[in-house]
Each structure stands twice: as structure tokens, then as C-alpha cells.
Chain A
Amino acid sequence: MITKMKKLSFLIHSKEYEQFLEQLRSLGVVHVVQKQAGAVQDESLQEDLNQFARYKNALKVLEPLAAQPAVEVPDDHTKGFSFDTPEKVTERFEILEADKVVLEQTLQVLSRDRAQLLPWGDFEPASLEHLEQSGYKIRFYTCPIRAFQDEWVSAYGVVEIERDKQKVNFVTVTHPDVVPDIDAEQVNLPAMSLSVVEKEITNTKAAIDAIPAKMTELAHVGLDVLKEGIRNLENSISFSQVRLTGEHLADDSLLLLEGWAPAADIDGISKALDVKGVFFDVEDPVPGDDIPIKLKNNRFARLFEPLTEMYSLPNYSELDPTAAFAPFFMLFFGLCMGDGGYGLIIFLACTLAKKKLPALRDFMALGQWLGVSTIIVGLLTGMVFGISLDTVAWPWLAGVKDKFITDNNYSVMGYSPMMVVAVCVGILQILYGMGFKITRITIQCGLKYAMSDIGWLILLIDMIVLLLLKLSGADISALAMNTMLGIAIVCGVLILFFNTPGKNPFVNLGSGLWGTYNMVSGLLGDVLSYIRLFALGLAGGILGGVFNSLAFQAGGSLPIWIGWLPTCLILLLGHGLNLFLCIISALVHPIRLTFVEFFKNAGFEGGGKAYKPFKKK
């Protein structure tokens, strides 16, 4: 359900504004109506936002590194640094990032130099100057083999250095004043020898390789400080945003602030703020108000709230659908998994993780419920770790083998019993969704606006009862038949003539016929869509059985002392893979059934904005 909210309007003297905001933040229950992002301009806020972005950027890189073991850093780069403030940690992070960029660019340049020097061998550039001073000018050339002319050798003292299939590299040895007149490209070599360049490359690579270790060390030393800094900055930003939200009145001497708080907290707020002598007014919401949404569900349904939030929070005039779909979702998950053994693994894993990972407590509790649902479905269908219990020859199962809901034991008009169960569960959820819609419309607009939907719900139930009676072969008396026919006619009238209150009957008839077309075509698709529950459960079970067969065939063909190894490996890997695939399918498809089929029939609109109270983090 949705928590009832009250609208609060505060009028504060400008001198007491900051003190009042501190007081309001310490209460931590008022959702302040803030201006659109970017609507408020303030230098200090802008500075905080920029700083926040820098800190977050550093956190994004350093947080995963903090979980890694510390690596020994060749030179103690933290020497002379202290990491007692988030700014220092971020600065150090930014320096390391910049170093990495510079080093990578240097490495690129050095690699290019090395490639240039490689054909000419290792020599000291200084020795060329000595030769020039002695009257020998060395110039480096390259040209295609076909362009090379033998007369250059005698004319310019050409010495060939390297020749490959396409080009020839050579030097000319001439007097410094003689410039060779040859048709070849002169090469300008770097002012370093090959050995120096290679040494530089090794050093640069080592420096680049050391950066991750330095980052990891920084993460170990400064992550907590950085997180604390981010928390403080978030508080400062939210405080500034709320401070700038206040509307200035009466020549800036007064400020008006509006907010929302749960009705149950109003007394506490009144007591706390009355003491400080702040004027404020409490009102009930009126249509058109943009009211923040706080969901309030019992311990079980609360676990499913993230699913509602994933789609959209309900708007304030709606009903919260969480508690309505939660049991169905649990059942759907169980049907999609369909294997009691997998359910047991999920339950045990979640129970263990619940203790080890307190931060994920709610998710693990949800996993426990889903595991229980899978165990129950698995026991009902006789499927455990890919073994169909109705087909095994275990004596202790003899008494219950024929009770499992399987194709061998039951058939409903030639169809698989689980397929019929899936469709029936789907019909039930659709009818439940329609009931949910009727309740919502009745609360929002009044009963007369829900007449058409009531007609549909009763008509469908009437038709289902009639169908079931026919299928069961029961003798339907004329009175019962006429009663059901009468109900259907009344429902038809409601559907066709009471769907748009206030409009003339022809408009009602037109929209009634259009609604009927939509309802009939939509219902067909919606009901059939639930068959996926059967198909997924079946596919998972079959795949598990295939892995069992594979494992025991592979192991059975070998001597027993080694045969157990491939058997265990295939069982472990096969069921691990199948479990993973089944979990993904068993989460995604029930979510889809909830979001598309259930929400459509329940007329869920969503669009609510989350309740975010102004408080210190």
C-alpha cells in the first residue's frame, strides 16, 4: 500500500533559515519539493557538484581495487603524501591517471623511434658529429631497389646497410660541403642510439606496469577517506539544493519552503518545530499535487518492492500492486524452475548469503521464498535434479509415484496437466488483476465508472463456471442454465451501455464494442502467454535429465575407480549451467508476465515519484 502523505508549507525568517534547515534535516522525514535540476544557480553548489563528480570518478576506479590484495610497489610513491582528506586522495588519483596518459604517449613515441632506428643498427649519434668534424659527413637514405643506382657508390661513397625485397637502406660518406644529388629519400633519425631507446622503452613499460599497483595501494590507503568525503559532499549538496529551493518573500526577509511527510510523522514534526517557533501549515493533498510515493508493505511483500520500482512506482491515486503480484511471482518462479533440487540449492545458498552479506539481506530473503516455492513445485511435479520421480523404480517412492502431477499420471483432455495448471494460474491472475482494477477505479472515481469492468469480470467467471460444468459432464438444470444466461446478459448490458458514464447510449455502445474487441483479442494473447510457465519448467527438467544421462553414460563406460570422476564433473558442470539458465529464465519471464499481462489487466499506470526525505547520510 501507499503511505498517506501530508503537504507541509514552512514560512521561515531569513536569519533563521539555515538553522531551520539543519533542524529539518535532523528530523529526516520531510521530502522537500525541489526545483528542477539546473534551475538553481549557486557558485558554491556548482563547486560542490564539480568536486563530487571528481570524487565519484576516483571512487569508481579505486573501489574495485580495494578488494584486491595489496601489491608491492617498486618505489614508495606514497612517501611524502598524506591521505587524510578526500581531496588529497583524489589529487593523487588524478596525478597517477595523468602519469599513465603521459607514459603511454611516451611509449608510443619511443616505439616509433625504435622502429626507425632498427634497420640502421646500434650507434651513438655523437660519433656522427665526431666524424663530421673529421671531414666525413654521414647521411642516411632509403629508396626502392629499382631506383638504386650503382654509380652512387663511387660518387658519394655509398655504403649499403640493409636490403629487403622492396627497398634498400644506405648511407653516404662525403665531405661535409658535398651534398649528394641522388633520387632517394633522406632519413632523419632520432637523436638517440637504439640501445638507449630500448632502455627507455623498458623503463617506460615498467613505469606503466607499476601504475595499477600504485592505484591499488592508494585504494587501500585512501578509500575510506574518499567515501567519507563523498558522503559529506552529498550532504552538503542536498543541503544547498534545499537551501536554494526556498522561495524569497517580503523583500527577502521571509522564505517559503514546501514539502511532504508521511501523515503518521506529522505529530513528531509539529512538536520538534513548534519549539523553534517556525510557522508551518499542514494540508491534505489535492488533485494535481505531485505527491512523492512511499510504499508500505508487510515483511513478505516488501521484498518484491524493487520489482515495482523497476517498472514504475504507482502514482498517489493508485493502489500499490506489490502485494497483489508478490504471491503470483513466487509461484511463477517455482513453476519456471520446476525442479525441487534446484529450489533446495537456491534456498540454502540464499540462507547462507543472508548471514554473510547483510547488505543484500532483503534480496536473499526474496531468494529464500523463491527457493521454497521451487521446492514445493518440484515436490508436486516429482522433479528433483532432473530425475522424474514418477519414472524411477525406488521402492520407497512406490506409494506416492502415481500422485505426482505428470503426464504419466494425469491428462486433462489430452493436454499435459502442468500446461493446464499454467493456463489456469494465468486466468486466475488475470481475473485477480481485473478485480484490482475495479477496486482502483471505484476508489478513484466511484462505482459507476467501474460498471463495465465489473461486467467483464462477472461475465468471465460466469463463462468459466459454465465451461467447467460442461467439461465435468455435470447435469446442468434448466434453472441454473437460465440463471447463468441471465447473468451473462446483464453483464453484456453493463459492458455495452455503462462503460462511459454521462455519455449518450450510442457513444457507450460504440466504445463498448471497441472495448469488447480489445478485451477478447487481448485476453487470448494474455492467457496463452502464461504457457511459458509450463514450457520453461519442462525445458529445465528435460535438460537436467539429459545431463544425468550423459554423466552416467560417460562414467559407466569406464572402470569404477576412475568412472566417478567424469560422472561427477558432468553432473556438477551440467547442473550448474542448467541452474544458472533456469534462474535467469525464472526471473525474467515472471517479471514479464507481471509487467505486461498483470499490469495491463490491473490497469496499473505508475509514474509515481519516490519519497526522498531530506536527511543526513
Chain B
Amino acid sequence: MNSTVLLAYIGIGIMIALSGLGSVYGLTICGNAAIGGLKKRPEALGTFLLLSAMPSTQGIYGFVCYFIIRGHVVDDMTALQAAAVFGSSIAVGIVCLLSGVRQGQVCANGIAATASGNNVTAGTMVMAAFPEFYAILSALSLILISGTL
């Protein structure tokens, strides 16, 4: 194995780890809020579950990006190709990490408001989709970059 493959795999590893961590943090923030909410309104479990699961997307994007990029990590890849894989993977990882945490905070607020008796499920889902959009853009960038390799 040469150093270009090594560089590419380091990038992929960081991407999967950071995007997964984004979801982990986001889901934890939501989960904590949902437990608090359940004490007030146990009947709203379905809504809480739905909102809590929103930040799981970032981890999925990291996973999908790995599937997209893995075909390009080959023994004879050039330094430029490895840099492209590394750079795009890092971008996806960082954006997904922050997007997951921030989306979790938006959803946690929605959960708290729902627990207080307000019907804000639809609004929260729309608002939570905004920080996720940039995770999607980073994943799209990786897909587009992979198309040039």
C-alpha cells in the first residue's frame, strides 16, 4: 500500500467518525429533551421520537459518502486523487459534526415546546432541515468530486 491510499483512508476514517459523532451528539441532545418531555406528556412519544431522530441523518451521510468514495481508493491512485478524497471527506466530516449538533439543539427546543403543549412539530421539522441542508451540500460536493476522479 502506498502513502496516497493511506491519506485517502485517513480522510475517510475522519469523515465517518466526525459525521457519526455529529449524529451521536445531536441525538443525545434530543434524547435528553425527549425524556424531560415524556414526564409532562407521555402520550406525545411518537412526536418526540420523530423529532429526536432528525439528527441521525448526518451519520447516514457519512456512511453513504464512504460507499461512494470507496471505489476510488485504489493502489495506483495519484496524490491529487488522494488529496481530493482526503479534503472532501474532511469537509463532510466537519460539516456533518456541527450540523448534527446544531440540528439536535433545534429539535430539542421543538421537543420542549411540544411538551409544553404547543403544536410545533411541523415547524420544528422545517427549521431542523435548514442546518441539515449544509450537510447535504457537503455530501453532494463529495459526490461531485468523486465524479471527477
Which residues of chain A come closer than 8 Å to B50, judged between CB atoms? 310, 588, 591-592, 595
Contact B63 A606 (CB under 8 A): no
* Chain B 112-148 interface residues, beta-carbon cutoff 8 Å to A: 119, 121-122, 125-126, 129, 132-133, 136-137, 139-140, 143
B53 within 8 A of A: yes
Given contacts A525-B137, A529-B136, contact A595 B122 (CB under 8 A): yes
Given contacts A531-B64, A536-B60, A588-B50, contact A312 B140 (CB under 8 A): no
Cβ-neighbour of B121 out of A311, A414, A536 (below 8 A): A311
* Chain A 355-387 interface residues, beta-carbon cutoff 8 Å to B: none
B-side interface mostly:
helix
Given contacts A525-B137, A528-B136, A584-B49, contact A415 B68 (CB under 8 A): yes
Contact A595 B125 (CB under 8 A): yes
B92 within 8 A of A: no
Given contacts A531-B64, A535-B64, A596-B125, contact A310 B46 (CB under 8 A): yes
Cβ-neighbour of B137 out of A524, A536, A538 (below 8 A): A524
A260 within 8 A of B: no
Bound: A599/B125 CA distance, A: 11
A438 within 8 A of B: no
Contact A592 B54 (CB under 8 A): yes
* Chain A 519-555 interface residues, beta-carbon cutoff 8 Å to B: 521, 524-525, 528-529, 531-532, 534-536, 538-539
Bound: A433/B66 CA distance, A: 30
A-side interface mostly:
helix
Sorting the interface of chain B by its residue count into under 10, 10 to 19, 20 to 34 or 35 or more gives 20 to 34
Cβ-neighbour of A416 out of B67, B125, B136 (below 8 A): B67
Contact B122 A311 (CB under 8 A): yes
Map CB proximity to B onto A407-440 as digits: 1 under 8 Å, 0 otherwise. Answer: 0000000111001000000000000000000000
Contact A588 B49 (CB under 8 A): yes
Map CB proximity to B onto A592-610 as digits: 1 under 8 Å, 0 otherwise. Answer: 1001100110000010000
B81 within 8 A of A: no
Bound: A521/B132 CA distance, A: 13
Shortest Cβ gap from A105 to chain B (Å): 24
A25 within 8 A of B: no
A31 within 8 A of B: no
Bound: A390/B46 CA distance, A: 37
Which residues of chain B come closer than 8 Å to A591, judged between CB atoms? 50
Which residues of chain B come closer than 8 Å to A599, judged between CB atoms? 122
Which residues of chain B come closer than 8 Å to A538, judged between CB atoms? 67
B57 within 8 A of A: yes
A6 within 8 A of B: no
Which residues of chain A come closer than 8 Å to B125, judged between CB atoms? 592, 595-596
Shortest Cβ gap from B92 to chain A (Å): 12
Q: Which residues of A contact B (CB under 8 A)?
A: 310-312, 414-416, 419, 521, 524-525, 528-529, 531-532, 534-536, 538-539, 584-585, 588-589, 591-592, 595-596, 599-600, 606
Which residues of chain B come closer than 8 Å to A600, judged between CB atoms? 126
Shortest Cβ gap from B109 to chain A (Å): 17
Which residues of chain A come closer than 8 Å to B47, judged between CB atoms? 310
Map CB proximity to A onto B21-57 as digits: 1 under 8 Å, 0 otherwise. Answer: 0000000000000000000000000110110011011
Which residues of chain B come closer than 8 Å to A595, judged between CB atoms? 50, 122, 125
Given contacts A419-B67, A535-B64, contact A592 B53 (CB under 8 A): yes
Bound: A36/B56 CA distance, A: 40
Contact B53 A596 (CB under 8 A): no
Which residues of chain B come closer than 8 Å to A521, judged between CB atoms? 133
Which residues of chain B come closer than 8 Å to A312, judged between CB atoms? 119, 122
Cβ-neighbour of A525 out of B46, B63, B126, B136 (below 8 A): B136
Contact A588 B53 (CB under 8 A): yes
Bound: A528/B61 CA distance, A: 9
Contact B122 A606 (CB under 8 A): yes
Which residues of chain A come closer than 8 Å to B122, judged between CB atoms? 311-312, 595, 599, 606
Bound: A600/B46 CA distance, A: 21
Contact B136 A310 (CB under 8 A): no
Residue of B nearest to A60 (CB): B42
Cβ-neighbour of A534 out of B64, B133, B136, B137 (below 8 A): B64
Which residues of chain A come closer than 8 Å to B129, judged between CB atoms? 525, 596
Contact A596 B126 (CB under 8 A): yes
Which residues of chain B come closer than 8 Å to A589, judged between CB atoms? 53, 56
Q: Report 30 cross-chain contacts, Cβ distance below 8 Å, ordered by A residue.
A: A310-B50, A311-B121, A311-B122, A312-B119, A312-B122, A416-B67, A419-B67, A524-B136, A525-B129, A525-B137, A528-B143, A529-B57, A531-B60, A531-B64, A531-B139, A532-B57, A532-B64, A535-B60, A535-B63, A535-B67, A539-B63, A585-B56, A588-B49, A589-B53, A592-B125, A595-B125, A596-B126, A599-B122, A600-B126, A606-B122
Which residues of chain A come closer than 8 Å to B64, judged between CB atoms? 419, 531-532, 534-535
Contact A528 B140 (CB under 8 A): yes
Bound: A592/B64 CA distance, A: 18
Apart from the given pairs A310-B121, A525-B129, 6 other A-B contacts in the complex at a CB distance below 8 Å: A310-B46, A415-B68, A524-B140, A529-B136, A539-B63, A588-B53
Bound: A524/B136 CA distance, A: 8
Bound: A538/B119 CA distance, A: 34
Residue of A nearest to B53 (CB): A588
Which residues of chain B come closer than 8 Å to A524, judged between CB atoms? 136-137, 140
Which residues of chain B come closer than 8 Å to A606, judged between CB atoms? 122
Bound: A534/B65 CA distance, A: 12
Bound: A310/B49 CA distance, A: 12
Residue of B nearest to A414 (CB): B71
Residue of B nearest to A413 (CB): B147
Shortest Cβ gap from A359 to chain B (Å): 16
Residue of A nearest to B71 (CB): A414
Shortest Cβ gap from B58 to chain A (Å): 11
Bound: A415/B140 CA distance, A: 14
Bound: A539/B56 CA distance, A: 13
Which residues of chain A come closer than 8 Å to B136, judged between CB atoms? 524-525, 528-529
Residue of B nearest to A542 (CB): B63
Bound: A595/B46 CA distance, A: 14
Which residues of chain A come closer than 8 Å to B71, judged between CB atoms? 414
Residue of B nearest to A606 (CB): B122
Enumerate the 9 nearest inter-chain pairs by beta-carbon distance, A residue then B residue, closest first: A588-B53, A525-B136, A535-B60, A525-B133, A528-B136, A535-B64, A596-B129, A532-B60, A595-B125
Which residues of chain A come closer than 8 Å to B63, judged between CB atoms? 535, 539
Which residues of chain B come closer than 8 Å to A310, judged between CB atoms? 46-47, 50, 121
Bound: A414/B57 CA distance, A: 24
Which residues of chain B come closer than 8 Å to A539, judged between CB atoms? 60, 63
Bound: A521/B121 CA distance, A: 24
Bound: A311/B51 CA distance, A: 12
Residue of B nearest to A600 (CB): B126
Bound: A589/B61 CA distance, A: 13
Which residues of chain A come closer than 8 Å to B54, judged between CB atoms? 592
